[in-house]
Structure 1
Amino acid sequence: MGPVEFIVLAFPEEQLRAPAVEAVMGLRKTGVVRLIDGIVATRTASGEVLAAEFDEFVELHGLLTGRDVARLIGPEDIQEAAGLLERGSCALLLVVEHLWAEDAAIAVRAAGGRIVGSVRIPPDRVPADPRAGVA
C-alpha cells in the first residue's frame, strides 16, 4: 500500500459545483490515487455543521463502492475539517492512497525503512518554475 492522506478541499458555497465533482471523479480515473473514503461537509450560514455521504449526491453516487472502500472519516474528523470552513461553504473530505508511490513504499518497507514525515508545501511558496535559480 502507498502513503494514505486525508485531504480537505474547500469551496466557497454550501453546494458543490460540477467542476469540483469532476475533479474528484478524475482522481479515480487517472490511477494516480485510490479513493478510500469521502464525505461532504457543510458549514451553513448559521454555523451549523452538516455531513453527508457521497451516495446522497447524484453526482457522487457510486464513487465509493467496492472492496477499496473503508469508512475512515469519523465525526471528529468532520468537526475538525469543518473548523477550517467559513460559514456558508462546503468541503470534500477525502482519504486517498497515493498509488504512484506504492512501489517505492513497498521497497522502503522491505529494506526496513518507513516514512517518518511528510510536509505539504503551500503553492505560494513554490516558484512558477521550480527549476529557476537552480544551478
Structure 2
Amino acid sequence: MGPVEFIVLAFPEEQLRVPAVEAVMGLRKAGVVRLIDGLVVTKTAGGEVLAAEFDAFMELQGLLRHREAARLIGAEDVEESARLLERGSCALLLLVEHVWAEDAAIAVRAAGGRIAGSVRIPPERTEAA
C-alpha cells in the first residue's frame, strides 16, 4: 500500500462545485489515487455542521460502493474539518491512498525501511519559489 492522506477540499458555498469534484475523481479513475473513505461536510450560514455520505449526492453516488475498509473518517475529523470552513460553505473530506507511490513504498519496506513522515508544502510557498 502507498502513503495514505486525509484531504479537506473546501468550497465557498453550501454545495459542491461539480467540475472540481469531477477533476478530483478523475484522479481516482486514472488510478493515481485510491479512494478509501469520504464525506461531505457543510457549515451552514447559521453555523450548524452537517455531514453526509457520498451517496446523498448525485455526482458522488457509487464512489465508495466497493470500499474495502470500514468507515475511517469519524466525528472528530468532521469537527476538525468544520473549523477550517467559513459559514455558508462546504468541504469534500477524502481519505486517499497515493497509488502512484505504492511501488516505491513496497521497495522501501522490502529493504527494511518505512515511510517515516510526510509534509504538505502550502501552495503559497511553492508559488513564491
Q: Give the TM bin, normalised by the shorter chain.
A: over 0.9
Structure 2 partner of 1:42: 42
Structure 1 partner of 2:68: 68
SS of corresponding position for 1:15: coil
Q: Residues 9-55 of structure 1: CA distance to partner in whole angstroms, max 9, x if unpaired?
A: 00000011211221232121111000010000000011100000000
Decide whether aligned partners of structure 1 residues 67 and 15 sit closer, same or farther in structure 2, where only a CA change above 3 A counts.
closer
SS of corresponding position for 2:93: strand
Q: How many residues align?
A: 129
**Corresponding position: 1:17 with 2:17:** yes
Structure 1 partner of 2:78: 78
**Corresponding position: 1:126 with 2:126:** yes
Runs in 1 of length 4+ with deviation above 3 angstroms?
67-70
Distance 2:38 2:101 in 1: 21
SS of corresponding position for 1:125: helix
Distance 1:63 1:33 in 2: 13
Once the 2 structures are TM-superposed, how far is the Cα of residue 67 of structure 1 from its aligned partner?
4.3
SS of corresponding position for 2:60: coil
TM-score relative to the length of structure 2: 0.94
Structure 1 stretches of 5 or more lacking a match? 131-135
Across the aligned residues of Structure 1 and Structure 2, the Cα RMSD in angstroms comes to 1.4
Distance 1:97 1:37 in 2: 10
Structure 2 stretches of 5 or more lacking a match? none
Distance 1:28 1:2 in 2: 14
